[in-house]
Structures are given as structure tokens and as C-alpha cells.
């Protein structure tokens, strides 16, 4: 399998603006806050164009608000066939997310208008460091340009973005290059996650996704793959019970990035990788089942995170573990009321074969904490539909046995825009998964608190390790484009967890 992860356009930085005659399909971009006052650069080009920019502002079609973009076509006095004004919003509220969103809005506008090259004369606002702010604009554009046209045979060219090159003109060229070089590696991780989530399930299945993981070795990640026989020997009956209904054998992939001293304990991330989820014998309705190719988005986030951390040479010791299965309803599939024995030795009554992700994670979490003794574990999973009822597509659900870890996650979420909301855990919920014939059952009593009882199930496999569970069922896919996320796979979790590592575990 070949994944096309080539950067679709180039980002350049320069200390000098171009001069000369106007070039076709070339844009000159200026940023303006919602004060609608011309900055130093905008004033210079307003004078060169005989007041064209100030006249556009007075006309009232553009007020510098976040998300606003305006093209002035056929303006004399500049080496471009158009000037584009991009709004940043309130100067007092400018932050990394605002700059990234501005880059995303700009990128969408450039492609919609067939622009091939653009020169950005960016003014970041008084409180910002120009180099970092400009890098964030470039990063937002890079995230927004993602597209997946692999299977188009006739419309492929028209679907490709028109943009070839973005050039940022700034006196902080050195700082901008340095900041963007690191952000570009995070974008690579996000793009990897988006691509493997978007690929169809006949292309991405446990074995093929494990092969993609192996490619991380070129970035210095140590990769191990456990097959069915190896997992049977380890006693992973919970994960293997899910996998047994498919002709595609399950896999577990262990990835290690060692960027710190050997004496430093690793941190661990664990992902649910159900590459397609029919529900098994407890089969799902056919309507919407095609979406179940993204039931492996938790594993995609972990793999994408490892790609990002290795790419930017993170100074941390990090373990990524993903349990990969396909949940199918054939004659060998597990049945409702089967009892399986997990790697921990705890027994599980499987009352609903569509509550399978927690079975996969049970063995993956146990394996991770037993082998690596990590400082903490965070797992990501498209685990429950119930979380989307509670939070929609604006927040993931956070469940944790550690107040400190939870606060760090919430802060990283606010910094990146990949936000989470904490839910309760407790004995009252935990007793709802006690089984009459086994140690536990894989669903709670009744229909209420389904996301919480699922988290309680996972907590039984972490012992005393600081742990957080991110239920990302509402965050893995978007049906409407966002400023830095095209419609489709989001790659949620890569930016969030990269920020967590950067802020707290690379000191």
C-alpha cells in the first residue's frame, strides 16, 4: 500500500518583498485586525495602489474580523494580479489558534480563486512575536490544504489545490523558519492520521496498518508487531475475542521513541484500532455503517503522534501501543454471552459484541503498564456513541484517575483547539459493570451513562498508573470544513498530545 503524504505546496520565508511587474495568478496578502486600521505594511501598499486598500475598508465589505478574506483584483502598483486582505479578529484576543485559523481561511480562499503563488506581508499585532505568529499562519495553511484524491480517476486534476508556493516576507525570517520546521513535523503526523482514517477498510486493515507503522523506523522509532500467536501466548483473550470473527488477523503494534535519558520513565499513549466495525453478531444498522472505517481513529492519532514526536526530535521517552482488529460477524465470531479471559487474568462476559473497543483496549492497557511501567497512560478511542449525545463534535470526553493529568490535558486542548471536557468516575458507576458469572461485563446496566461505564471498564485494567481516557467518537470525522480541517478525517489528538508532551515532559 502506498500512502501519498507529499506536501502539496511549499512554504518559504524571505526578508525581502518582490518588486517589478504584476505576475499572473500571484497574490499579495496583507493582514488586518478588526480595528480596520492599516498597519505599517498595509499603509505602504495602500499608498502604492493609490488608496485602493483604504477605499475597500471604507466600503464596509471587509472589517478585519476573524474569518474574513477579501480580494482586490487588478490593482495597479503591486507585483501581483490581486491583493488579498485577511482578517485576524480582535488584536487583544490574538493567539496561536487565531493565527492558524487565519492561515486556514486564507488557504481556502487562495485555492478557490485559482491562485498559484502568494506573498504574505504579515503583521501579527503588538503582543505577538512575529516569527512564531507567521509560522502559525503557515501551519494553519498547511493543515487546511490536506486533500485526498487517490481514488479519483477523471477529476483528480481539478480536485488538486491550485497553490504551489506561499512566501512569507518578514524581518523575523530566522525565527519563523525555526518555528515552522517543528510545526511542519506535527502537520506530517496529522496528515498521516487523516490519511489512514480516510483510506477504505479493504486497504487499511490490521496487517496493512501495522505495515504502515513499521515505516516510522525511518524516523528513529523502534517498532514491534505482535501477531495472533504471540498475543495468544500473552493471554490477550479480550482483544483476540474481537478479532476472531474476521479473516483479517488482529495485530498489536508497539512503538518506542527514546529522545531522553534512559533513566527517564516513558510516557505512554494507547489507541483503539478497529479498522472496521460492523458490530459483530450485535450487528449495527446498515445506514451509516460506512462511517465505521474511522473506528480506528484512536490508533491513527497515536501513530500520527509518534510520527510528529520523532520528526521534531522530541526530548522525551514515549511509547505508543495500538490494538488493531476488524470486528466482523462470521461463523467464528464471538457471541453475546461469551466469556473471555483478558491478559490481566480478569474475566469478561461479552453481552454486546458492538462494545468491542474496550475489550481491545483492556489488553493493550494492561500490556503497556506491565511492560513499560510508564509515568502515565493516555488512551484514545472512538468508544461510545453516547459521548456524541453529551458533547456533540466540539469536545472529546475526558475520564481520568489523576486530577493533575486531567488539568494538563485540558490546558493542552485549549492551546490547540482540540478541547476536552472531564466526566465523573466512581464506585456507583463501577458496580454497574459487575457480572453474575464473570468478573465484569462489557456494558453497563440500562442505557444511561454509557460513556462513563465504558471508562469504568477501562479503569479496571490500569491499576494505579495515572491514566486518562479520551473518548473521541464525536471528534474523528467532520462533515463540514473547519478553518484548518477540511471535510472528512480530522486527525484529532495529534496536536493535543504533542502539546502535552512539549509543555510538560521535555523539560
| DSSP per-residue letters across 325-383 | EEE--STTS--TTEEEE-TTS-EEEES-TT--HHHHHHHHHHHHHHHH--S-EEEEE--
Q: Are residues 201 and 136 in the same domain?
A: no
Q: Is the dihedral of CA 428, 468, 194, 65 positive or negative?
A: positive
Res 36: pLDDT: 79
Mean pLDDT value across residues 402-427: 98
Catalytic residue among 272, 312, 358, 495: 358
In a domain, 129, yes or no: yes
Q: Are residues 219 and 165 in the same domain?
A: no
pLDDT surpassing 60 at residue 207: yes
Q: Nearest Cα to 119, choosing from 183, 163, 175, 70?
A: 163
User: What residue numbers bound the domain in which 246 lies?
Assistant: 189-504
Q: Are residues 206 and 282 in the same domain?
A: yes
What percentage of the chain's residues is helix, strand, coil (to nearest 5)?
40, 20, 40
The last residue of one of the domains, among 125, 145, 174, is: 174
Does residue 170 or residue 303 have the better pLDDT? 303
Q: Are residues 402 and 455 in the same domain?
A: yes
Mean pLDDT value across residues 269-273: 98
The last residue of one of the domains, among 141, 174, 207, is: 174
Q: Are residues 162 and 229 in the same domain?
A: no
C-alpha cell belonging to residue 265: 520513565
Res 18: pLDDT: 82
CATH no. for residue 55?
3.40.220.10
Does residue 123 or residue 273 have the better pLDDT? 273
Q: Nearest Cα to 159, choosing from 111, 192, 200?
A: 111
Mean pLDDT value across residues 457-463: 97
In a domain, 364, yes or no: yes
What distance, in Å, lies between the first and last C-alpha atoms of the chain? Answer: 38
Strand-pairing partners, residue 68, are none
Contact between 255 and 223 (Cβ < 8 Å): yes
**Number of residues in the chain:** 507
| H or E element that contains 158 | helix 156-159
Strand-pairing partners, residue 168, are 13, 120
CATH no. for residue 271?
3.40.630.10
Q: What's this model's pTM, rounded to 2 decimal places? A: 0.96
- Percentage of residues in the chain having pLDDT higher than 70: 97
In a domain, 1, yes or no: no
C-alpha cell belonging to residue 339: 466469556
Residue 157 — pLDDT band, cuts 50, 70, 90?
A: confident
Catalytic residue among 48, 116, 284, 422: 284
Does residue 159 or residue 484 have the better pLDDT? 484
Q: Are residues 153 and 197 in the same domain?
A: no
Query: What Å distances lie between residue 414 and 96, 183, 251, 331, 494, CA to CA?
Result: 11, 17, 34, 47, 14
Q: Are residues 232 and 332 in the same domain?
A: yes
Q: Nearest Cα to 255, choosing from 205, 299, 203, 201?
A: 299
Tens digits of residue pLDDT in 277-300: 999 999 999 999 999 999 999 999
Q: Nearest Cα to 141, choosing from 109, 115, 116, 170?
A: 109
pLDDT surpassing 90 at residue 34: no
Q: Are residues 169 and 245 in the same domain?
A: no
Residue 41 — pLDDT band, cuts 50, 70, 90?
A: confident
pLDDT surpassing 90 at residue 1: no
Res 2: pLDDT: 56
The last residue of one of the domains, among 174, 198, 229, is: 174
Tens digits of residue pLDDT in 219-237: 999 999 999 999 999 999 9
Q: Are residues 328 and 363 in the same domain?
A: yes
CA distance 482 to 393: 12
In a domain, 4, yes or no: no
Q: Are strands 317-327 and 267-277 parallel, antiparallel or unpaired?
A: parallel
Q: Structural domain tally of the chain?
A: 2
Res 123: pLDDT: 79
In a domain, 162, yes or no: yes
Does 358 qualify as catalytic in the annotation? Answer: yes
- Mean pLDDT of the residues in the chain: 94
Res 189: pLDDT: 98
Q: Are residues 240 and 131 in the same domain?
A: no
Does 228 qualify as catalytic in the annotation? Answer: no
In a domain, 341, yes or no: yes
Helix axis angle, 96-112 relative to 403-416, nearest 10°?
A: 40
pLDDT surpassing 80 at residue 239: yes
Structural Rg of the chain based on CA atoms: 25
Q: Are residues 358 and 459 in the same domain?
A: yes
Give the other-Cβ count within 10 Å of 16's Cβ. 8
Q: Nearest Cα to 253, choosing from 279, 240, 271?
A: 271
Q: Are residues 355 and 452 in the same domain?
A: yes
**Of the listed ranges 3-17, 96-110, 474-488, the one predicted with least confidence:** 3-17
pLDDT surpassing 60 at residue 126: no
In a domain, 121, yes or no: yes
Does residue 42 or residue 268 have the better pLDDT? 268
In a domain, 3, yes or no: no
Q: Please, which residues have CB within 8 angstroms of residue 165's CB and are 6 or more apart in sequence?
A: 9, 10, 11, 12, 116, 117, 118
Tens digits of residue pLDDT in 318-363: 999 999 999 999 999 999 999 999 999 999 999 999 999 999 999 9
Amino acid at each position: 500500500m502506498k500512502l501519498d503524504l507529499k506536501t502539496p505546496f511549499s512554504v518559504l520565508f524571505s526578508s525581502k518583498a518582490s518588486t517589478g511587474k504584476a505576475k499572473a495568478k500571484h497574490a499579495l496578502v496583507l493582514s488586518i485586525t478588526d480595528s480596520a486600521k492599516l498597519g505599517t505594511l498595509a499603509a505602504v501598499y495602500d499608498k502604492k495602489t493609490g488608496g485602493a486598500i483604504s477605499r475597500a475598508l471604507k466600503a464596509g465589505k471587509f472589517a478585519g474580523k476573524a474569518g474574513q478574506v477579501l480580494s482586490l483584483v487588478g490593482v495597479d502598483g503591486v507585483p501581483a494580479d490581486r491583493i488579498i486582505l485577511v482578517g485576524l479578529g480582535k488584536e487583544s484576543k490574538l493567539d496561536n489558534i487565531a493565527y492558524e485559523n487565519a492561515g486556514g481561511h486564507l488557504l481556502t480562499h487562495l485555492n478557490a480563486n485559482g491562485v498559484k503563488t502568494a506573498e504574505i506581508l504579515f503583521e501579527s499585532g503588538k503582543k505577538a512575536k512575529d516569527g512564531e505568529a507567521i509560522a502559525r499562519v503557515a501551519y494553519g495553511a498547511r493543515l487546511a490544504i490536506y486533500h485526498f484524491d487517490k481514488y479519483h480517476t477523471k477529476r483528480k486534476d481539478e480536485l488538486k489545490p491550485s497553490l504551489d508556493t506561499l512566501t512569507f516576507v518578514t524581518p523575523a525570517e530566522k525565527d519563523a523558519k525555526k518555528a515552522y520546521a517543528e510545526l511542519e513535523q506535527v502537520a506530517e503526523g496529522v496528515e498521516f492520521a487523516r490519511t489512514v482514517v480516510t483510506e477504505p477498510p479493504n486497504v487499511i486493515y490490521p496487517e496493512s496498518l501495522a505495515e504502515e507503522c513499521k515505516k516510522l523506523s525511518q524516523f528513529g522509532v523502534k517498532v514491534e508487531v505482535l501477531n495472533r500467536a504471540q498475543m495468544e501466548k500473552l493471554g490477550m483473550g479480550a482483544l483476540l475475542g474481537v478479532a476472531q470473527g474476521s479473516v483479517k488477523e488482529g495485530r498489536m503494534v508497539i512503538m518506542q521513541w527514546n529522545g531522553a535519558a534512559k533513566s527517564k520513565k516513558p510516557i505512554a499513549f494507547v489507541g483503539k484500532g478497529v479498522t472496521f466495525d460492523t458490530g459483530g453478531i450485535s450487528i449495527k444498522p446498515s445506514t451509516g455503517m460506512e462511517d465505521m472505517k474511522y473506528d480506528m481513529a484512536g490508533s491513527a492519532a497515536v501513530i500520527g503522534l509518534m510520527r510528529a514526536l520523532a520528526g521534531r526530535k522530541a526530548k522525551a521517552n514515549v511509547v505508543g501501543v495500538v490494538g488493531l482488529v476488524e470486528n466482523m460477524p462470521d461463523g467464528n465470531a464471538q457471541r453475546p454471552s461469551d466469556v473471555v479471559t483478558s491478559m490481566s487474568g480478569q474475566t469478561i462476559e461479552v453481552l454486546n459484541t458492538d462494545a468491542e473497543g474496550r475489550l481491545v483496549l483492556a489488553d493493550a492497557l494492561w500490556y503497556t503498564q506491565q511492560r513499560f511501567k510508564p509515568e502515565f497512560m493516555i488512551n484514545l478511542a472512538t468508544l461510545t456513541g453516547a459521548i456524541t449525545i453529551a458533547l456533540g463534535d466540539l469536545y472529546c470526553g475526558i475520564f481520568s484517575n489523576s486530577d493533575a493529568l486531567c488539568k494538563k490535558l485540558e490546558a493542552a486542548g485549549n492551546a490547540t483547539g482540540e478541547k476536552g471536557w472531564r466526566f465523573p468516575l466512581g464506585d456507583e458507576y463501577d458496580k454497574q459493570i459487575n457480572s453474575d458469572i464473570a468478573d465484569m461485563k462489557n456494558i453497563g446496566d440500562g442505557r444511561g451513562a454509557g460513556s462513563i461505564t465504558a471508562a469504568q471498564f477501562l479503569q479496571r485494567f490500569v491499576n494505579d498508573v495515572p491514566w486518562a481516557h479520551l473518548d473521541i467518537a464525536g471528534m474523528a470525522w467532520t462533515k463540514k470544513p473547519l478553518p484548518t480541517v477540511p471535510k472528512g478525517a480530522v486527525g484529532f489528538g495529534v496536536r493535543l498530545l504533542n502539546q502535552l508532551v512539549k509543555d510538560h515532559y521535555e523539560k
